[in-house]
Amino acid sequence: MDSHSPNGSIIFSTVGRTNYGFDIFSLKSPLSFLNSPITEHRLTDGASVNFNGQFIDEDQTLVFVSERSGAPRIYLRRPSGIELIPTSINSLFLDRPILWNNRLYYISAHQHSKKKFTSSSALYCTTIDGDNEVTRLTPEGSVDYSPSISKSGHMIAVASYGNRCWPTEEFHDLSTDIVVFPESKPDRRTIVCRHGGWPTWSGDSTIYFHRQADDGWWSIFKVDLPDDLSNLVDESNGSIRVTPPGVHCFTPAAAVASSDRSKSSIIAITTRRPGKSYRHIEIFDVESQKFFPVTELINPTTHHYNPFFSPESTFLGYHRYRGESCSGETTIPYLDPIISPENGLKMLRLNGFFPASSPSGEFIAFNPGFTGLEIIKSDGSKKWTLIKDRTSFCNSWSPAERGVIFTSIGPIFESVKTTVQIARVSFSSLNVNDEEIPVEIKVLTGEETGNNAFPSCSPDGKHIVFRSGRSGHKNLYIIDAVNGEMEGGEIRQLTNGAWIDTMPNWSPDGKLIAFSSNRHNPDDINHFSIYIVHPDGSGLRRIHVAGQEGSEEVDKERLNHVCFSMDSEWLLFTGNLSGVTAEPVSLPNQFQPYGDLYVVKLDGSGLRRLTCNGYENGTPAWHPSTMRMETTTGETEQRVQVGEKLKGEFDDVLWMKC
């Protein structure tokens, strides 16, 4: 193994992802469903999550995305079974596949952008017969999403972000453009409409797409194309809104009507209606302006995503949580292996938040949903509860004591004056036959000292560094790990200023403390960078990750949850350095869909991206060893089936006001 490469295991969380349980379903004859009962048929097999499918024929041969291998991969579903479609590339992210004329079209992020704050998502095609040759259809330096192929197969439409960098403020509507080009000449790109996403062809001359209208409602628009795109008059105002205000409509799919095989006024859309808690698939007739409910009639309390028609509109497909009545995986493993881009690193998704390893590496403490404190074995095979029904977050296991964990007790993401306390949680042993373990909880911070959180223990187990708002600003303090600031214990202020210093982590060699701060721009409470300091307060310096000191790029950093590798040579953190990989409106809620995990050396060099998906990944921890994951049958490196019950509990996008 390269001594200069990071190694060990990375344990991290992903917002909502562990509960998705997506499978792809279909309905027969959706255009005449009012005249017959609706019968739903599951097409995928309940392994991992399965989503964003496309039909190839009227036999419901299906190309789709599944994460069953530990990362999004493209699979083919036939009545005889499911098989992987090889793409001859090493990518952590594949999405939106289309199989046409023995060519596979898809979005991939395997060619990393050379610019920070720029997505790597681009459209590729691969021949599936022969040498699997891969062709990039998106120009170098540009970003494309959500491909669609016209009825004849001659034209392709994408939602394109072009070569722009991401804005520094929050964004939900990507403000992509609808771009079309001939399948045979991908360099002949034409912007047919500004501000639009998720295009779908109706025939060869009409494209439906979604965007947020000026009145705030997500709506479906259409643009009619001339035979000669050079005659396009106005790429900004040529679109027509087709769905009315008062209901959110997005991710359209155009049908082919039996009376006209070239174009149809029927589209399937996903909706969120006022007073409704779930997104559903509906049929919308553009000419009559009528909606016809579909999935709400059969699954009223389940979210449904991203509809698609078969080539002749015999079937309508979509994905949703598979439900308890379906066969397949019904357990969320405590730890789920995913594919790592680094040979020396193992990547494990935790069903919980803020993992912390025991001194031996045998156990991991974490917070299940910010409520309580639990421990699992590092192979994911057993769990114990230390605290329940009490809000707690961010844990640090004492490196010097087997049975001592430090945590924050109180509400997360609150003001400096909110009472949050650092607690020392100690227990005698973990009996394999017990589920709940008796603990002693000792509060180390004063009740009137405000918001004290994010503890990290020194390697000798004698001190805790944490963030406190007791001065009126959130700065770092060091406290006695046994007595706290009461009973004669020592406390001293490590940093001091009218800014936010937070999420500290003590290096395993004891020499440094890393933390996130906005001290370089205290008026900006959204952008944080990484700093390191010696425990005595000396040697404070910023780690410039996105660019050189003083550059425009470096002040766009949103870097949090920083922690050291076990050799104290690398920093692991969550960052916004690579944009987003998929349209956020097409997914369940992700607070920061641009949040990925990275490692970097202490001098800011050697930056490496560890995750690449449409989710928010965060609260990572570095485990000292490359852990072996055991299943209940004793086989290694397979999905662990010991865990919590899969319930499909996740949120729709919270920024869509209904």
pLDDT at 634 over 50: no
Residue 28 pLDDT: 87
Distance of CA 567 to the CA centre of its chain: 29
CA dist 415 and 420 (Å) reads: 10
CA dist 337 and 113 (Å) reads: 26
CB distance 448 to 470 below 8 Å: no
pLDDT at 630 over 70: no
CA dist 98 and 364 (Å) reads: 41
pLDDT at 258 over 90: no
pLDDT at 462 over 80: yes
pLDDT bin (cut points 50, 70, 90) of residue 166 is: confident
How many H helices and E strands in the chain? 0, 49
Question: Which residues contact residue 467 at a Cβ distance below 8 angstroms, ignoring those fewer than 6 apart?
Answer: 451, 452, 453, 454, 474, 475, 476, 477, 501, 502, 503, 504, 515
Q: Say whether 380 sits in a helix, a strand or coil.
A: coil
Burial-class residue 631 by CB neighbours within 10 Å (0-12, 13-18, 19+). Answer: middle
Burial-class residue 60 by CB neighbours within 10 Å (0-12, 13-18, 19+). Answer: buried
Query: pTM of the prediction?
Result: 0.94
pLDDT per residue over 325-349, tens digit each? 888 999 999 999 999 999 999 999 9
Tokens of 359: 């001194």
Kindly give the pairing relationship between strand 345-350 and strand 8-14. parallel
CB distance 278 to 333 below 8 Å: no
CB distance 59 to 79 below 8 Å: yes
Block residue for tokens 């739903």: 40
Residue 636 pLDDT: 38
Residue 367 pLDDT: 97
CA dist 429 and 437 (Å) reads: 8
Q: What is the 3-state secondary structure (H, E, C) of 506-529?
A: ECCCCCCEEEEECCCCCCCCCCCE
- Closest alpha carbon to 177 in 201, 149, 131, 142: 142
Question: Which residues contact residue 550 at a Cβ distance below 8 angstroms, ignoring those fewer than 6 apart?
Answer: none
pLDDT at 369 over 70: yes
Q: What is the 3-state secondary structure (H, E, C) of 57-108?
A: CCCCCEEEEECCCCCCEEEEEECCEEEECCCCCCCCCEEEEEEECCEEEEEE
- Closest alpha carbon to 95 in 84, 108, 86, 81: 108
Block residue for tokens 């020499």: 511
CB distance 74 to 56 below 8 Å: no
pLDDT at 12 over 90: yes
CA dist 55 and 26 (Å) reads: 10
pLDDT at 231 over 50: yes
Q: Say whether 31 sits in a helix, a strand or coil.
A: helix
Residue 50 pLDDT: 98
Residue 236 pLDDT: 54
What phi, psi does 82 have (nearest 5°)?
Answer: -115, 135
Residue 199 pLDDT: 98
Residue 1 pLDDT: 43
pLDDT at 259 over 60: no
CB distance 618 to 595 below 8 Å: yes
- Closest alpha carbon to 11 in 261, 358, 382, 351: 351
pLDDT at 20 over 80: yes
Measure the N-to-C terminal CA separation of the chain; round to a whole number of Å.
53
From the CB of residue 7, how many other CB atoms can be counted at a distance below 10 Å?
A: 20
Block residue for tokens 């992700």: 590
pLDDT at 411 over 90: yes
pLDDT per residue over 290-323, tens digit each? 999 999 999 999 999 999 999 999 999 999 999 9
Residue 641 pLDDT: 57
pLDDT per residue over 70-90, tens digit each? 999 999 999 899 999 988 899
CA dist 506 and 518 (Å) reads: 19
What would you measure as the largest C-alpha separation in the chain, in angstroms?
86
User: Distances in Å between the alpha carbon of 423 and those of 194, 324, 385, 513?
Assistant: 54, 38, 16, 20
Tokens of 30: 């959706």
Among 236-245, 402-411, 420-429, the minimum mean pLDDT is found in: 236-245
From the CB of residue 413, how many other CB atoms can be counted at a distance below 10 Å?
A: 9
From the CB of residue 127, how many other CB atoms can be counted at a distance below 10 Å?
A: 15
Mean pLDDT of 274-300: 95
User: Distances in Å between the alpha carbon of 343 and those of 338, 599, 623?
Assistant: 13, 14, 15
Among 24-33, 47-56, 427-436, the minimum mean pLDDT is found in: 24-33
Give the residue, 486 or 240, on which the prediction is more confident.
Answer: 240
CA dist 18 and 48 (Å) reads: 9
- Closest alpha carbon to 383 in 207, 640, 41, 46: 640
pLDDT bin (cut points 50, 70, 90) of residue 324 is: confident
pLDDT per residue over 194-213, tens digit each? 999 999 999 999 999 999 99
Calculate the average pLDDT of the chain: 92
Mean pLDDT of 279-296: 95
- Closest alpha carbon to 144 in 125, 162, 164: 162
Beta strands in 165-239 (DSSP E): 177-182, 190-193, 197-202, 206-212, 218-224
pLDDT bin (cut points 50, 70, 90) of residue 32 is: low
pLDDT at 610 over 50: yes
CA dist 383 and 361 (Å) reads: 15
pLDDT bin (cut points 50, 70, 90) of residue 249 is: very high
- Closest alpha carbon to 74 in 52, 58, 102: 52
- Per DSSP, the residues of 528-592 read -EEEEE-TTS---EEE--SSSTT-TTGGG---EEEEE-TTSSEEEEEE-TT--SS-GGGSS--S-
Residue 132 pLDDT: 81
Mean pLDDT of 35-39: 76
Residue 610 identity (one-letter amino acid): L
